[in-house]
Amino acid sequence: MITCHLLRILKQGIEASIMAFFYQRYIQGLWTIAEGIVYDMFRKEEHVVNELPELVPKYKYVSVDYGMQNATVFFCYGNEI
């Protein structure tokens, strides 16, 4: 049997386990904007570089989605293989 006390404990556990942004949006129903670091696995020392390496693809490809319902989109890809 689930009591009101048990429901409060379950709710507190769920609230503590999700990020504030998701709690505000999906539990409280607020349309909030995510600010700062959104991904918890982000590490500045690993994912931020001062200089980008020179990327000159050996092969280039272009594809197109003509879009029956949405706008036409062209994609440009590069491949070093």
Residue 17 has pLDDT above 80, yes or no: no
pLDDT tens for 68-79 read 888 899 998 888
DSSP state at residue 41? T
- Are the C-beta atoms of 44 and 54 separated by less than 8 Å? no
pTM of the model: 0.29
Triad 32, 35, 41: Cα angle to 5°? 120
pLDDT tens for 36-69 read 766 778 888 888 889 887 777 788 899 999 988 8
Q: How far apart are CA 59 and CA 38, in angstroms?
A: 34
Query: What is the 3-state secondary structure of 58-73?
Result: CEEEEEEECCCCCCCE
**pLDDT, position 73:** 92
Q: How far is CA 6 from the centre of its chain?
A: 33
**pLDDT, position 1:** 66
**pLDDT, position 22:** 75
